Amino acid sequence: MTQERENDPIASRLAAGVQEALRGWQPALTEPRARVVTLPDGTEAIQVRLELGLLQMSVTGRPDGIRFGEFETLLEATLAEGGSHPNAREGVGGHSALASRLRIESAQFQRRAEAWLEARLPERAVADADLALRSLGGAARIAFAAEDRIALDAISSARFPLTALRVRAEAAALLAAGLGERVRQSIDAGLERLRVVARDASLGAPFELLSEVLLLSAMRDNLVPKLPGSARTELESRLRAAVLSENYELAAILRDELRMS
C-alpha cells in the first residue's frame, strides 16, 4: 500500500484563498478567528487566522489532505492491514515510527477540532475530537506492542488535553442545540473521565488546578439561562479581563454565554 499525496490539486486548492484572506480578514480580539470558506474550485476549507499568517485545512479526511491509497487516514490504512502498516514492518523501530505518525495524525484532527469550536461549529469539533482520540488510541496500541515506553508516556500526556477538548466540544454542541439543561451533567461526566486520564499521566499539578479543569469548571459554573442586568455586566467585565490577559479560550466561552442571554 502506498501513500498518495495529491500535491498539485490539494496545494492549489488550499493555497488559493490564502493571500486574499491575509489581506482582507483582520478579526477583532472578540471575534471568531476561524471560518469556513469556499475555494475557487468549489471545495471548502477551514481557515484559522494567526498573528503572522493563516492556517488552512481541508474540511474532509485528514486536515492536510493526504490520503493513504483508498483510505482517508493512516489509522484506517493501519487497521486494514491488521494493526500494522507496510512502512512499519521493519521491526520495533518501524512500529515506533508508525506510532509517531499516528500521534501526528491525532494532533491534526485535534487542531481542526479546535478550529471548528472557534468557528462555532461544535458538532464538527466533536467528530474531529473523536477521530483524534481514535488515532491516539491506535498509536498507543502500536507503541505498547513495540514496548516503546517513551512513546507511551508522550501519548498519555497528549490524551488529557484532547479529552478535555472533547468534553468542551460536547458541551458547546449541547448549548448550540438548545439543550442547556444537559450541559452541566455532560461536563461533570467529562471531568470524571479526565480524572481517570490524569491518573495515567504525569501532569505536574493537582487535578483541580489544571488549566483544562479550571476552564471546564468555569464553563459549567457560568451556565445560566437568562442573565439579569447585573450578572450580564459582570460577564462583560470578565470577558474584557479574559481578552486583556489573552485567555482566549475563556473569552470565547464568556462571549457565547453573552450571546445566548
Domain count, the chain: 2
Report if residue 14 sits inside a domain: yes
Report if residue 1 sits inside a domain: no
> pLDDT tens, 71-113?
999 999 999 887 555 444 444 457 888 999 999 999 999 999 9
> How far apart are alpha carbons 177 and 158 in whole angstroms?
29
Report if residue 29 sits inside a domain: yes
> pLDDT tens, 23-77?
778 777 778 889 999 988 888 999 998 877 889 999 999 999 999 999 999 999 9
Give the domain extent around 216. Answer: 7-223
Highest mean predicted confidence (pLDDT) among 15-19, 58-62, 153-157? 58-62
- Do 143 and 240 fall within a single domain? no
- Do 143 and 229 fall within a single domain? no
Question: What is the number of other CB atoms lying within 10 angstroms of the CB of residue 176?
Answer: 15
Nearest to 261 by CA among 220, 225, 219: 225
Report if residue 158 sits inside a domain: yes
257/182: higher pLDDT: 182
- Do 18 and 120 fall within a single domain? yes
Taking the model in full, what pTM does it have? 0.76
> How far apart are alpha carbons 129 and 164 in whole angstroms?
10
Whether residue 110 contacts residue 129, with contact meaning beta carbons closer than 8 Å, is answered with yes
DSSP readout, 179-204? -GGGHHHHHHHHHHHHHHHHHTS--S
Residue 227: pLDDT band with limits 50, 70, 90: very low
Whether residue 15 contacts residue 100, with contact meaning beta carbons closer than 8 Å, is answered with no
Question: Residue 174 pLDDT > 80, yes or no?
Answer: yes
- Do 112 and 199 fall within a single domain? yes
In the sheet with 53-58, reading across from the earlier edge strand, the strands are 34-38, 44-50, 53-58
- Do 29 and 145 fall within a single domain? yes
Report if residue 62 sits inside a domain: yes
Report if residue 2 sits inside a domain: no
7/183: higher pLDDT: 183
